Each structure stands twice: as C-alpha cells, then as structure tokens.
C-alpha cells in the first residue's frame, strides 16, 4: 500500500512544489517590504472628501480648490520644481499621455507643489517647461504649508526631506477627483495613455470593470486593457487550478487506499 501511495504523491510533485514556491515568495516579499515604499492605500482613500484649501495659481489668481474646475472632474498631481528625480519625467509623460486623449475640456488638470520653497513664478516656469502655460485645462499652483498638509493627508500622498541629498523622497501619483471626492489613484513614475484614459473614464463616471490596486494584488485572475476595454485571463488564473489538483490527488489517493484495503480483506477471507 505504501508503494502505491508513494507513486500517487510522486505524480503530483510538480503541483505541490508550485504551491510551496508561491507560499515562499509571498512570505519573503512581505518580510522584505519597506513600508515607506508602499503606494497609498487606495481602498482606504476612496470616496474621501478633499479639504477646500486656498490655491495661489501660476497665473496670479487666488481661489478655493472647489472653484478651480468649475464643477468638472479633476486630475491632481503633486510635484516640486527643484526635483532631481521623477517629477520632470512624470509630468512630461502625463502631459504627453493627456495630449493623446480626445476628451479635451471635459475635465481639469491640477499640478500643485508640495515644496514650501516653490513660488507662483516657479510654477509658471514649470508650466512653460512642459508646454502647458497657455492651456486653460491645466493649472499650476501652490498652497500654504498647513493647507498643503491637509490635502496630502487626504489623498495619501507622502513626502520626506532627505538632508543628505537635499531632495524630497516621494511617490509619483495622480488622484482622480469627482464632486470633491477621491474616486481613483494612479501610482507610477510614467503615465501611459491607456492608464490615463482609464483614470479619466473613472472620474467621468464611466464604469471600469476591473483594475488592480497598486501593490495590493500579486496574482490576478483577469487583466483589463483600458485602451480597448477588453478583459483577458491573467496567469494568476492558474492558482484556481491548484485546489482542483489537490482535490483530485486526494480523491485518487482515497480510492487507491480503499481498493487496497478491499484487496487485503478479500485475501484474508480466502485464507
């Protein structure tokens, strides 16, 4: 009987090894994750209302955040003008992706500095740097430190001063806002047209069937293409087959053991 059981176990060794590998990978990733490197927790921040802070725009206007977009959906990004890292490529990719969309003035774009050293003149120069200074659908602005802190806390955006590098550590992130509340976050140093289109569809009230929360979903059953709207199977779907394989192996083992017991019982009856 032990020989038969061993043959069954050997037959399912690849499935067992695959499950153990996934468990080891998940445990190692959890142990080595730097909490500061984690993206904002979108599931906690959804539907959070934004504080109606005062903005000083690059054009010289002062107005509350609630009046900025005139009731339109808003896409909000945080940068600082002295950034020697991700801010410039992030902003340029956002601008390029935005130009590829056909939605124009259906929503507003706000770029706000989180560096208290930045002035309205600095933001005007940044707007000119990405060729958005004369675009009415884009606003570059600053805010008072206390107001800025309220806004970043509401959106889950963090920043820390690194004295050695004389730079801020911070993520690259867009927040989609509708009716003054967060409906979607988009995290990443490069904004592609597909990802931006998906974000804009969401803030515009369209239904987006599926997307992964950043840093939260390692194994996905389906993949959603925002450019085409198609849903396809992802490799995580294979995980659904693991319980089936285990169940099949267990059932086969039970039948094998039962058959062996009946054979032994028959031999004993004959004796």
Strands 160-162 and 222-225 come out as: unpaired
What's the CA gap between 270 and 256, in Å, rounded? 21
pLDDT: is 149 or 32 the higher one? 149
Tell me the three state secondary structure of residue 65: helix
pLDDT exceeds cutoff 60 at 229: no
pTM here? 0.67
pLDDT (average), residues 156-173: 95
Q: Is the pLDDT of residue 214 over 90?
A: no
For the chain, the average pLDDT equals: 80
Cβ-Cβ contacts under 8 Å for 171 (sequence gap 6 or more): 39, 40, 157, 158, 187
- What's the pLDDT at 212? 53
- CB-based contact 32:127 (threshold 8 Å): no
* Per-residue confidence band for 34, with pLDDT thresholds at 50, 70 and 90: very low
In this predicted model, which residue has the larger pLDDT, 24 or 124? 124
Span 113-142, pLDDT tens digits: 999 999 999 999 999 999 999 999 999 999
pLDDT in the model for residue 124: 97
- Paired tokens of 141: 């602005």
* CB contact at 8 A, 174 and 189: no
Q: Which fold has domain 39-217?
A: Glutaredoxin (3.40.30)
Q: The dihedral of CA 153, 33, 170, 163: what is its sign?
A: positive
For the chain, what are the domain ranges?
Answer: 2-26+237-270, 39-217
Q: Residue 27 above 80 pLDDT?
A: no
Cβ distance 74 to 108 under 8 Å?
Answer: yes
Pick from 61, 94, 97: which is nearest to 79 by CA? 94
Mean pLDDT of 141-170: 96
More confident residue, 34 or 266: 266
Better-scored residue on pLDDT, 214 or 157: 157
């Amino acid at each position: 009987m032990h020989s038969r059981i061993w043959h069954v176990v050997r037959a399912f060794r690849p499935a067992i090894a695959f499950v153990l590998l996934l468990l080891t990978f998940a445990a190692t990733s959890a142990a080595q994750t730097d909490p500061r490197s984690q993206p904002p927790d979108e599931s906690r921040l959804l539907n959070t209302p934004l504080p109606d802070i005062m903005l000083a725009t690059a054009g010289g206007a002062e107005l509350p955040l609630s009046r900025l977009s005139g009731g339109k959906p808003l896409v909000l990004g945080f940068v600082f003008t002295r950034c020697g890292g991700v801010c410039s490529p992030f902003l340029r990719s956002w601008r390029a992706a935005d130009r590829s969309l056909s939605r124009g003035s259906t929503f507003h774009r706000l770029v706000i500095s989180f560096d208290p050293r930045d002035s309205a003149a600095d933001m005007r120069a940044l707007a000119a740097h990405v060729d958005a200074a004369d675009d009415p659908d884009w606003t570059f602005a600053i805010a008072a430190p206390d107001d800025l802190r309220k806004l970043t806390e509401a959106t889950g955006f963090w920043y820390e001063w690194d004295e050695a590098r004389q730079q801020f550590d911070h993520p690259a992130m867009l927040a989609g806002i509708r009716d003054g509340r967060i409906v979607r976050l988009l995290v990443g140093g490069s904004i592609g047209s597909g990802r931006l289109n998906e974000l804009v569809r969401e803030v515009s009230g369209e239904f987006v069937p599926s997307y992964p929360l950043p840093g939260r979903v390692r194994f996905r059953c389906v993949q959603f293409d925002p450019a085409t709207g198609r849903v396809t199977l992802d490799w995580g779907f294979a995980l659904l087959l693991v319980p089936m394989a285990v169940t099949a192996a267990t059932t086969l083992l039970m039948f094998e053991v039962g058959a062996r017991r009946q054979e032994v019982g028959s031999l004993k009856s004959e004796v």
